[in-house]
Structures are given as C-alpha cells and as structure tokens.
A and B are shown apart, each in its own frame.
Chain A
Amino acid sequence: MSEKKVSDRQRIEELLGIFSGIAASPKSQLDMYTGLGKKAVGVFPYYAPEELVHAAGFIPLGIWGASGTVREAGRYFPAFYCTIARMGLELALTGVLDRLSAVVMPTLCDTLRPLSQNFKAARPDIPMLFLAQPQNRKTYYGKDYYVSELMRVKGELEALAGKKITDEALYESVQVYNESRAERRRFVQLAAAHASLVSTQARSAALKSAYFTEKREHQTLLKELNDLLAAQPAENPRDYTRVVTSGILADGGNLLKIFDEQSIRVAADDVAHESRSFRVDVPESLAAEAPMYALAEAFAQQTDDSLLWEADLSHRQQHLIDLVLDSGARGVVFLMMQFCDPEELDYPSLKAALDTMDIPSIQIGYDQQMTDFGQAETQLMTFKEIIG
C-alpha cells in the first residue's frame, strides 16, 4: 500500500476516534462550549428545527436520554415509560444539564407531553420551550399552526439570547443544516460501502456526535472523512452481513459491539436518531423568502416515520422494503425501545410487509438501562446464521 494510502487510513481512524470521543462524552462538549463563553440549548426529540436555536447564536445539543440507570426520575415517571423520557429527566435531575441556557421540548409522542411538564416541575430554573407540532402537518392550516408555534419559540429564544433572530441569520442556519444533512446522508452511504473501515460502532458515533457539536465544526470533520472514504478502493459487499436497522435509537455501545463481533454492518437505517432526522432538507429557495414557512414545509415533507401520522401505512412499508432492496441488505433488525407505543404500533404492519417480500427480520427489545445483552447477542447471532 502506498504511503499516501496508509496515511489516509490513519486519518480515517483518527477522525472516527474524534467522533467516538465526542459521542461518548456529551457533557464534556457542553462544558467545553460553555467554557468558551458560548451558550447551549438542549433539544429533545423529535425533529425540532435546530436551525432556530442555531440562528439565535446558541449551540444546539441533542438530548436523547443516555445509557445508565434511572434513579431520581423514578419520582416523576413509573417504570413503564420509555428511557428516552426517563433518562432525559434523569440527566436534568443529576446536574448533567445544569449549564444549558434552556431546553426545547417537542411533543410528537404522548410520552413527551408529561416529560415536558415533569421537566418544568423538576427543573424550574432551566427554561423549557414547549413546541407543539401538528400531526396534520401537510395541510395549509397545519403549516400555519406550526409557523405560529415556531414564532412563539423564536420569541422565547430571542428573549433568552437578548437579540432578534433575523431572516438572514435563519437562512444562513438553514444552509448550514442542509449541508450537514447532506454530508450525513453521504456518510451513511460511504460507511456502508467501506464496511472494513467503518465499524457499526464507529458509524453510530459519527452520526451521534453531530448532536453534540456545532454543525459547521461537525460538517468540516465529516466532509474530510467522507472525502477520504470516497477515495478508498471499493469493497466486496459480501464481506459483511448487511442489514437495515429500524427503531428510535441504535447507539448503545454494548448492543452495537455485538453487531461488530458478528461482522454485521448497517447498509441503511430507518432510525429516528439517525437517518429519519436528516432525510429531508429545508427548501432553500423558500427559506430565502420566508424562512419560518420553509421550516414548516420541511416538517410537512417528513414521512415514513412512526412518529408522524399518515392515513395509511403502505408508503412506510414500501419505504422500508426499498431501503432493503436498494442497499443490498439481507434483512431488517428492528430495535424496539421498551414501552414505545408509536414504534410498537407500526411494527406488525412493517413486519407483515417484509414477510410478503420474503425479507427476513428480527425484533430486539432494548432500552438505555440494559446491561445484559446476552439475549440480544443470541438473537443477532441466530439471525446472522439464518440470513448468511
């Protein structure tokens, strides 16, 4: 191998290492940014337009729970709530979010409404910006309603920032985020194409780190990585067992370690924390004219997601089938977050659609408190033995 190739590979490893470091310690990122005199705002799931937070001059940081044990949040939630909600509140109650200037809390799922109110009661000192998103998002009245909600949140952010969010600033943030989304989509493809260089854990970390890094910074690093990957020789797609992952989260280190131990790679994903969050761009021409409407329009265009209402599920079924067929995956791994109603409701019809196409699938239950992955390992190992 030429010297250039060797140094390129070293740099790829280095960049993946940087992403892993960031993904493993979001608190250090928060401390780093606030230490530099910047202000950060936490953004809870799902799909709040971070562009608004960014345009107000804050660093948006995604809060999707964390691996660990629910202790303090047990006072607010019974055990049968998902860990996204319980661990999110746990972070707030254990001081991890202390340095945030505020949090934005969307409400696409019924679990998030009580979370928002519990958060308010538990941490009255951290401003909670409630964002009610309409499920009827494609109609003109749905969009008008969403714009009115966004305007309210915009006003609250402006009050916290002590400055107006100008249309120009918002347009610029839209461009930054569109570039980041495109780069992440490119990375998903390149990671699948270069499976020997990008492990399943490394793929997850590169995507997860985007939630804890100012998007321009992340974009610069990810673009460098993507360019290096694109220049690497093509790999044999049969060297690894390729699957499509589907679910809310797919970032538990111990869970993904099993994927790597079994030489399983993600060919494409249907994961809320990953591709579902960056599938759709904000239309830039509209953003140049009316950026708030452009944000509502982008939300209206999001689809194929358990969190987003559709009159019939056939489109989502077809989307999942297409993901498998287009990516050359050999099956689908559903990572089912415990107590997640939206995902559990969609699952039977997705599974049935895959069955009719003879696409093998498996469902693995998990949550962020999980410490014993023995059963998940057995399931994945068997699945691999079946699909080859």
Chain B
Amino acid sequence: MLFLGIDIGSAVSKCVITDETEAIRGKGLSPGGAGTGGPQAAVAMALADAGAAAGDIAATVATGYGRNLAAAADSTMSELSCHAAGAVKLYPGVRTVIDIGGQDAKVLSITPAGKLDSFIMNDKCAAGTGRFLEEMSRVLAVPIDEMADVAGRAAHELQISSTCVVFAETEVISRMAEGAAVGDVLAGIFAAIAARVGALAKRKGVVPEVVMTGGVAKNEGMRRALERELGTPIHVDPLAQYAGALGAALFASQSGL
C-alpha cells in the first residue's frame, strides 16, 4: 500500500511516496507552486520514481500554501505539522526544526517524543526567507547554487546592516560600487539572514539537535552562517527539501486507510 504526500509551496512543489513501513518509495520535485502545473509534475515524477500508478495510492495528504488547491488530496495538514513529522523521520533525535521556505521562516519545537510542541513564524516580510536570497542572487548575478562557494572564498564578512530586501538591495549595490568583493558581500548577506532567522529561533528557544528543512537548507553558506549565529551544529539531510512532503505522506499512512 502506498501513500502520497504533496507539499505545494510558493515556488516549488514536492512529493513523496511512502509504503506501509514508512519507507520512502519515490519522490518528485518540480518548479511551480500553488496555481501552476508544478504539483501535477511533481506527482508524476514521484509515481515514476516509485514505479507506481495513481491507482496504487491508498491515501493522499496535501500540505503547503497551495494545499487547498490539491484536488486529489483526501485531506490537508498544515506544513508546520508536516515539516515536524518529516524532520523527525529523517532525524529522530531532533528537538528544533528551522524551516526556511520561499516566503517565510518557521522555527518548530519538537518534544522528546517527536511531537510538534509549539512554533513561531516570521512576520510577513521577505527578510530571512528564500526570497531574500533570490533577490540577492539576482543583484549580484551569482546563481543560488553557487552562492555558498563564492561566500566560502570571502576574505572577510561585510556587514549588511539591513535585512529588509528593499533596503538591503540598495546597500549591496553601493557596497559593490565601492569595489567590495562579491564573496565578502555574500558572506555578509548570509550573516544578515542568519541574524534574522536566529533571532526568531532564539525567541522560541533552541534545543539541540537542530535540523534545517525547506529549500534554503540546501544552501551550505546559509547553514554555516546559522550555525555560527546559534552556536550549535545544524543537521541538513539530503532530503531536507522533501521534509514537508514526507511528513504529509506519513500522515496519509496514519489516516487509518
């Protein structure tokens, strides 16, 4: 019996298929979030990966901002519950999950028994989110995937005082105009986002083990900056971006079907 979790984010759709032993049998990821063809493409990829057909799916749970648009879902769950469940599955000792998505950042506290206990989300503001990184990637003409490497070569970290996307863009442009190295500016950008997300995490309370999920978790520069900010190691699973979808698939399998 197979179970499908669909995580429809603001910019990317992710799917995970699990079986009754909670093992991952397939996954799919497609650009395009709520209101696009992204979710269908991600489902098709996951089915192909699992070597399964739509009819093999016993239950589907949708999560993410576009969860209500997933017509095929049997039920919906919040992405916070799903990210928590997914993170616990990927890293059983986790007590704090930091999830930085395309449009918001969340910090989740997990009980020793692996249950979501409480959470905090950033205000509606692009600072400290994936959007901030995207904007900076555009301004500096450094592809997101290469940001960490470029920042890793920084001679020193420039101070970017503003974490507001609009003001930071102006600040970054004037630093570049002054002749600053791209790597130094990028290191400053990572530190600025880490300070913002770190403040959110400290408000919630950071209990190790700390795990990062969401699309931004893939960014090694961001992870390192956040580790420095919080003074604790942060684990990132290769499937970090799928944590929400994995949690949704696990909820689908627990739904009694």
Name A residues whose Cβ lies closer than 8 Å to a Cβ of B. 360, 362, 365, 372, 374-375, 378-379, 381-382, 385-386
In the assembled complex, B91 has its CB within 8 A of some CB on chain A: no
Q: What are the residues of chain A within 8 A of B123 when measuring CB–CB?
A: 365
In the assembled complex, B78 has its CB within 8 A of some CB on chain A: yes
Q: What are the residues of chain A within 8 A of B149 when measuring CB–CB?
A: none
Q: What is the distance, in angstroms, from A235's C-beta to the closest C-beta of chain B?
A: 24
**A375 engages B121 (CB within 8 Å):** yes
**B65 engages A374 (CB within 8 Å):** yes
Q: A382-B80, A385-B81 are in contact. Are A375 and B124 (CB under 8 A)?
A: yes
Of A360, A365, A372, A378, the contact of B80 (CB 8 Å cutoff): A378
The residues in B between 61 and 105 inclusive whose CB is less than 8 angstroms from any CB of A are 65, 76-81, 104
Q: Give Cα A112 to B80, complex, Å.
A: 38
Q: Give Cα A374 to B124, complex, Å.
A: 10
Name the CB-closest residue of A to B81: A385
Ranked nearest first, the 10 interchain pairs of A and B with the lowest CB-CB distance are: A382-B78, A381-B78, A382-B80, A385-B81, A378-B78, A374-B65, A382-B81, A386-B116, A385-B78, A365-B123
Q: What are the residues of chain A within 8 A of B124 when measuring CB–CB?
A: 365, 372, 375
Q: What are the residues of chain A within 8 A of B119 when measuring CB–CB?
A: 379, 382
Q: Give Cα A382 to B119, complex, Å.
A: 9
Name the CB-closest residue of B to A360: B118
In the assembled complex, B146 has its CB within 8 A of some CB on chain A: no
Q: Give Cα A11 to B81, complex, Å.
A: 41
Interface size classification for chain B = 10 to 19
Q: A372-B124, A375-B121, A375-B124 are in contact. Are A385 and B79 (CB under 8 A)?
A: no
Q: What is the distance, in angstroms, from B181's C-beta to the closest C-beta of chain A?
A: 36
Name B residues whose Cβ lies closer than 8 Å to a Cβ of A. 65, 76-81, 104, 116-119, 121, 123-124
Q: What is the distance, in angstroms, from B86's C-beta to the closest C-beta of chain A?
A: 14
Q: What are the residues of chain A within 8 A of B121 when measuring CB–CB?
A: 375, 378-379
Interface of chain B, helix or strand or loop or mixed?
Answer: mixed
Of A362, A372, A378, the contact of B79 (CB 8 Å cutoff): A378
Name the CB-closest residue of A to B251: A385
Q: Report the number of A-B residue pairs with Cβ-Cβ less than 8 Å.
A: 33
Most B CB within 10 A of own CB, among A381, A382, A385 = A382
Q: Give Cα A283 to B118, complex, Å.
A: 43
Q: What are the residues of chain B within 8 A of A375 when measuring CB–CB?
A: 104, 121, 124
Q: Give Cα A386 to B81, complex, Å.
A: 8
Q: What are the residues of chain A within 8 A of B116 when measuring CB–CB?
A: 382, 385-386
Name the CB-closest residue of A to B108: A382
Most B CB within 10 A of own CB, among A372, A378, A381, A385 = A378
Q: What are the residues of chain A within 8 A of B118 when measuring CB–CB?
A: 360, 362, 386
Q: What are the residues of chain A within 8 A of B77 when measuring CB–CB?
A: 381, 385
**A378 engages B117 (CB within 8 Å):** no
Q: Give Cα A385 to B65, complex, Å.
A: 16
Q: What is the distance, in angstroms, from A377's C-beta to the closest C-beta of chain B?
A: 8
Q: Give Cα A172 to B117, complex, Å.
A: 52
Q: Give Cα A372 to B124, complex, Å.
A: 10
Q: Give Cα A378 to B76, complex, Å.
A: 11
Q: Give Cα A146 to B159, complex, Å.
A: 53
Can you list 6 A-B pairs, Cβ within 8 angstroms, ordered by A? A374-B65, A375-B121, A375-B124, A378-B121, A381-B76, A386-B117
Q: What is the distance, in angstroms, from B105's C-beta to the closest C-beta of chain A?
A: 11
Known: A362-B118, A385-B81. 12 other contacts (CB 8 A): A360-B118, A365-B123, A374-B65, A375-B104, A375-B124, A378-B65, A379-B121, A381-B76, A382-B80, A382-B81, A385-B116, A386-B118
Q: What are the residues of chain B within 8 A of A386 when measuring CB–CB?
A: 81, 116-118
Q: Give Cα A342 to B1, complex, Å.
A: 54
Q: Give Cα A381 to B80, complex, Å.
A: 9
Q: What is the distance, in angstroms, from B210's C-beta to the closest C-beta of chain A?
A: 19
Name the CB-closest residue of B to A261: B68
Name the CB-closest residue of B to A379: B121
Q: Give Cα A386 to B79, complex, Å.
A: 13
Q: Give Cα A378 to B62, complex, Å.
A: 13
Q: What are the residues of chain B within 8 A of A374 when measuring CB–CB?
A: 65
Q: What is the distance, in angstroms, from A71's C-beta to the closest C-beta of chain B?
A: 20
Q: Give Cα A375 to B104, complex, Å.
A: 9
Q: What is the distance, in angstroms, from B199's C-beta to the closest C-beta of chain A?
A: 15
Q: What are the residues of chain B within 8 A of A360 when measuring CB–CB?
A: 118
Name the CB-closest residue of B to A381: B78
Q: Give Cα A378 to B77, complex, Å.
A: 9
Q: What are the residues of chain A within 8 A of B80 when measuring CB–CB?
A: 378, 382, 385
Q: What are the residues of chain B within 8 A of A362 when measuring CB–CB?
A: 118
Q: Give Cα A102 to B90, complex, Å.
A: 64
Q: What is the distance, in angstroms, from B90's C-beta to the closest C-beta of chain A?
A: 19
Most A CB within 10 A of own CB, among B78, B118, B124 = B78
Q: What are the residues of chain B within 8 A of A378 when measuring CB–CB?
A: 65, 78-80, 121
Name the CB-closest residue of A to B115: A386
Name the CB-closest residue of A to B83: A382
Q: Give Cα A362 to B79, complex, Å.
A: 16
Q: Give Cα A375 to B76, complex, Å.
A: 15
Q: What is the distance, in angstroms, from A11's C-beta to the closest C-beta of chain B?
A: 34
Q: Give Cα A374 to B123, complex, Å.
A: 12
Q: Give Cα A379 to B120, complex, Å.
A: 9
Name the CB-closest residue of B to A338: B123
Q: What are the residues of chain B within 8 A of A365 when measuring CB–CB?
A: 123-124
